[in-house]
Amino acid sequence: METESYIATYGALGTNAVPMAWSETITGLQQGTIDGLDIPISVTYTNGFPDIAKYLNMTGHFYSPLIICVSGELYDELSPEEQTLLREAAVEAGKLSRKNNAELETVMLEEMEADGMTVVRDVDTAAFQEVLGSFYAERAETIGGTYVEDLLKALEEME
């Protein structure tokens, strides 16, 4: 994606990230114009990448959620009860979506491996963390608000 944080992350990892139109990625891989790409497993699976790319590395370095958005104007027109229902439904949808994605991911990975793709699961995440160090904390202002602080706290709680 053409975002500062994605491009800067890849730069910090020593690569030359080049945002490009989705329509050019398959041809770019086939012709060797690009060496790899950063896309979700579901996109890899549904777009036939096992026929094009031989390896899928499970680095887990980005998480790109789908976000439920509503305009402030519309939200403010809702009653307090409706606002509560909307927030609760969004949280529940998020939990169900993550559960569904985890279940489908297993099936998709198995099928892509059966189609000849090598899925590299044993990735040295500590090396990624060492290289990036305080990368995101240094960009907290660019990313906005307390998002980075909240994320780092949540990651510590997961360990």
In angstroms, the CA 50 to CA 56 distance is 9
Domains defined for the chain, CATH in brackets: 4-148 (3.40.190.170)
For residue 118, the cross-strand partners are: 55
Q: Is the pLDDT of residue 145 over 70?
A: no
Task: Report CA-CA distances (Å) from 24 to 19, 37, 49, 52, 117.
Answer: 10, 11, 14, 13, 21
Token pair for residue 130? 């060492």
Note the pLDDT of residue 1: 75
Q: For residue range 10-51, what is the model confidence (pLDDT) as tens digits?
A: 888 888 888 888 889 888 888 988 888 888 899 899 988 888
At residue 152's C-alpha, the angle toward residues 149 and 157, to 5°, is: 125
> What's the CA gap between 1 and 130, in Å, rounded?
23
Report the pLDDT value the prediction gives residue 148, as an integer from 0 to 100: 76
